[in-house]
Chain A
Amino acid sequence: MYVVLKNVQRLGLITSNSALVAALVTWVMLHILSYVLLSRLREQKEIPGVRDAA
């Protein structure tokens, strides 16, 4: 994380506050997306045809 941030800051791509907001949003989105995706996959697996094929 330190190496990534150091290089990103050196390039001047992000300010310190925007990095913090980006980290927060990324981490929350990671939770939301993984939940939504996994629930869809589970639902898909329960469709009889899909389950039998697996």
Chain B
Amino acid sequence: MADITSGPVADKTTKTAVDEFMLTEYQTIATAHFDLHNGLRQNFRFYLGLIAIPVTVFAVFKNPDMEIFALPKVMLYLFGVIAVLGFLMFLNMINMRFDIILYTRAVNGVRSYFKIRAEETGNAIFEVGRKLPVDKNRPPYNEGFNRAYTWIFMMIGPSQFCIHVRCSQKRATARSDYF
């Protein structure tokens, strides 16, 4: 292993303590980054399971004539609760996505450091072989709405909420007619 110098060095090609730190940082953050990706995937699977609960409960009633906007009370509450839980899951998932972006930026920062080091030592091969970015302010946190999971949340959550509202409305109307 090469000698590590902690103080200021005249020879730019010598490996410094900062170089060593940056290498360790790169490895640690890259691992954390991929762990978060796994976490995001697991959360999404959990959300898919959550939104399927009303369908499972629907099967319990065994009534093929049941109308989507005239559901039993249990289903009505279930749609309301799952819509709210879905929104909380959405918040959790975007927070996790922001953490992923933070780590991506940190890795970009480390890469930027080695780019500067390569320039200092006159090593042109680094720039030739480099493909990933070195800007620590990229990617932006607001990625727009081009991600598939955002659309799934946008479509499923509100539709469940609408079913809940419509059923509540029908019940409210039926009761006011009764009284």
Contacts and interface: CB of A to CB of B under 8 A. Distances in A.
B95 interface: yes
B177 to A, nearest CB: 11
Main secondary structure of the interface of B (DSSP, over half): helix
Interface residues of A, number: 25
B80 A1 contact: yes
Contacts of A31: 87, 90, 150, 153-154, 157-158
Interface in A4-54: 5-6, 9-10, 16, 19-20, 23-24, 27-28, 30-32, 34-36, 38-40, 42-43, 46
Interface of A: 1-2, 5-6, 9-10, 16, 19-20, 23-24, 27-28, 30-32, 34-36, 38-40, 42-43, 46
Interface of B: 80, 83, 87, 90-91, 94-95, 98, 101-102, 105, 137, 140-143, 145, 150, 153-154, 157-159, 161-162, 164-166, 168-169, 171-173, 175-176
